[in-house]
Amino acid sequence: MRKAISIILISCSSCAQSGYIYYKHSVKKCIHNLEQVESWIHHDIEQGKVDPSIAEDYMIAITHTKISLMEKYKKYDK
């Protein structure tokens, strides 16, 4: 899964947009980063910079990763 996220971050062509990526070991920050990548992907789709079918694959990977992180966060937040 780490490889998929790396590919998403590298292939995201509009990373220069506003928004912040955090470099911490915080689960909340990781979830925020994934949400930021999601917004970049949506922007790239709107701009015609990425094929929608490829973007869908990225979004599936992001969604599954977010769900896993949220479950992990809830587990340790108790």
Q: What is the pLDDT of residue 24?
A: 64
Q: What is the pLDDT of residue 39?
A: 94
Tell me the average pLDDT of the chain: 78
- Name every residue whose Cβ is closer than 8 Å to that of residue 21 and which is 6 or more positions away in sequence: 33, 36
Q: What is the pLDDT of residue 13?
A: 44
Q: Could you state, in order of their start, the residue ranges of all structural domains in the chain?
A: 2-77
What is residue 49's DSSP assignment? Answer: -
The DSSP element (H or E) to which 59 belongs, if any, is: helix 52-77
Phi then psi for residue 8, to 5 deg, are -60, -45
Residue 38 has pLDDT above 90, yes or no: yes
Q: What is the pLDDT of residues 19-30, one digit of tens each?
A: 666 566 788 888
* Distance (Å, whole) CA 7 – CA 46: 20
Q: What is the pLDDT of residues 56-73, one digit of tens each?
A: 999 999 999 999 988 877
